[in-house]
Homo-oligomer: A and B are copies of this chain.
Amino acid sequence: MAGDLQSWVLMATARSPTNIAVIKYWGKRDEELILPVNDSVSVTLDPDHLSATTTVAVSPSFEQDRMWLNGKEISLSGGRFQNCLREIRRRARAVEDEKKGIRIQEEDWEKLHVHIASFNNFPTAAGLASSAAGFACLVFTLAKLMNVNEDYGELSSIARQGSGSACRSIYGGFVKWAMGNNANGSDSIAIQLAYETHWSDLVIVIAVVSSKQKETSSTTGMRESVETSKLLEYRAKTVVPTRVSEMEEAIRSRDFASFARLTCADSNQFHAVCLDTSPPIFYMNDTSHRIINLVERWNRSEGTPQVAYTFDAGPNAVLIAQNRKAATLLLQRLLFYFPPQDNDLTSYVLGDKSILNEAGLQSLEDVEALPPPPENKDKVPHKKFSGDVSYFICTRIGSGPKLLTDENQALISPVSGLPK
């Protein structure tokens, strides 16, 4: 092992995106290996707005593997962390850093411990697939540090063992998680369907919905659905395969009408299966329903879909607009029904704020002056639901994991080996 001084610290830092499924993953056929009952398709979200950044450091002075998430130490004893660490260590190769005079032999990795620091640039508890970004980033960064020579498909299958949907965060753009057939999960990997540049018109608006209820974790929910839902197997075996093919074609041909129809239908069917579970699982609440109704009403009045919606295991809406024009009209509608509770618009609409400007919304007065959407023909006065949405994030489809070479971006001090 290198240079014989116990004090060296070698590090790698990377950033990985989160992703949102447009054909949903719900149900495992193998709990341990995290093998799904159907293929799924996702879009990767722009890491500028939603991503995990992870630094992995190695040093002969580290006495055990340790991890800090958003500055707080967390346990690595869980099987999911252990699976990822074991699978990457198994593939670790010799590393030489001439400048630092460090040389690590392949066999050294088994004895060396790592310190991991990870940070999400969005609220962890908000139900925005933080574990997808987190495990993708952990695996990607470990692989870089340990000089792992595997293709991204192989890395995705390791990330999958941390959190199923994490495998899809190994790529940018449009991604399919092929369920695979092998019992050992070797062919249950992510495949990139298209780069993020393939369909750059799309604009994404996320409504982070205030939730008063404790939600069922997706791991527990999935297991209960597999055990009790009479509809899940039919969905997985009969409905999803056709939808995945149609979705691939819709993405390939940038056919927004089909993309939106499939995205909305599959989100709703996933929540239908949750409701068909015993005890039933409710992830969407009245606010989620209101957002769906708003979008459905508008899409119908336009004759062709302007916006697709999809909801994961929580009440937050992920809204995909076909272009910037549709996104500005969407934002106007959302802010009409869900105005900010306090006076600060800039902390209510996060991410790509340029859409706010394009929507002509610079101040709270602009929001208050918004006319009711013309498609709402109800005779009753327009109800507003201030406080039901915590905030919005405007973003787009983004790129996959990226190594950050600037040492200033590392989350661990090269001197102490601890989080900065």
Check A286 for interface membership: any CB of B closer than 8 A: yes
Check A356 for interface membership: any CB of B closer than 8 A: no
User: Closest approach, in angstroms, between the C-beta of A359 and any C-beta of chain B?
Assistant: 25
On whether A276 and B286 interact (CB within 8 A), knowing A212-B383, A234-B234, the answer reads no
Interface size class of A (residues with CB under 8 A): 20 to 34
Check A66 for interface membership: any CB of B closer than 8 A: no
On whether A231 and B278 interact (CB within 8 A), knowing A212-B383, A285-B286, A378-B214, the answer reads no
- Chain A contacts with B in 318-343, Cβ cutoff 8 A: none
A279-B268 Cα distance, complex, nearest whole Å: 9
Closest residue to A243 on the B side, CB-wise? B230
1/0 contact string of A198-221 vs chain B (CB within 8 Å): 000000000000001010000000
**Copies of the polypeptide in the assembly:** 2
- Chain A contacts with B in 38-73, Cβ cutoff 8 A: none
Check A373 for interface membership: any CB of B closer than 8 A: no
Check A152 for interface membership: any CB of B closer than 8 A: no
1/0 contact string of A262-292 vs chain B (CB within 8 Å): 0011001101110111111010011001001
Q: A282 to B272, Cβ gap below 8 A?
A: no
Main secondary structure of the interface of A (DSSP, over half): helix
User: Closest approach, in angstroms, between the C-beta of A296 and any C-beta of chain B?
Assistant: 4
Q: A276 to B280, Cβ gap below 8 A?
A: no
A231-B278 Cα distance, complex, nearest whole Å: 17
In the complex, which residues of chain B have a beta carbon less than 8 angstroms from the beta carbon of A261?
278
A347-B296 Cα distance, complex, nearest whole Å: 39
Closest residue to A309 on the B side, CB-wise? B280
- Chain A contacts with B in 349-385, Cβ cutoff 8 A: 378, 383
Q: B272 to A296, Cβ gap below 8 A?
A: no
- Chain A contacts with B in 74-95, Cβ cutoff 8 A: none
User: Closest approach, in angstroms, between the C-beta of A290 and any C-beta of chain B?
Assistant: 8
Check A144 for interface membership: any CB of B closer than 8 A: no
Check A239 for interface membership: any CB of B closer than 8 A: yes
- Chain A contacts with B in 13-31, Cβ cutoff 8 A: none
Check A252 for interface membership: any CB of B closer than 8 A: no
A293-B275 Cα distance, complex, nearest whole Å: 12
Check A254 for interface membership: any CB of B closer than 8 A: no
In the complex, which residues of chain B have a beta carbon less than 8 angstroms from the beta carbon of A276?
265, 268-269, 272
A selection of 30 A-B contacts at a CB cut-off of 8 Å is A214-B378, A228-B265, A230-B235, A230-B239, A230-B265, A231-B235, A231-B239, A231-B269, A231-B272, A234-B234, A234-B238, A261-B278, A264-B278, A265-B276, A265-B278, A268-B275, A268-B278, A268-B280, A269-B275, A269-B276, A271-B275, A272-B272, A275-B275, A279-B292, A279-B296, A279-B300, A280-B296, A282-B293, A285-B286, A285-B289
Given A265-B278, A279-B300, A282-B292, 13 extra CB contacts under 8 A: A230-B235, A230-B239, A230-B269, A231-B231, A231-B235, A231-B269, A231-B272, A234-B238, A268-B278, A272-B272, A272-B276, A280-B292, A286-B286
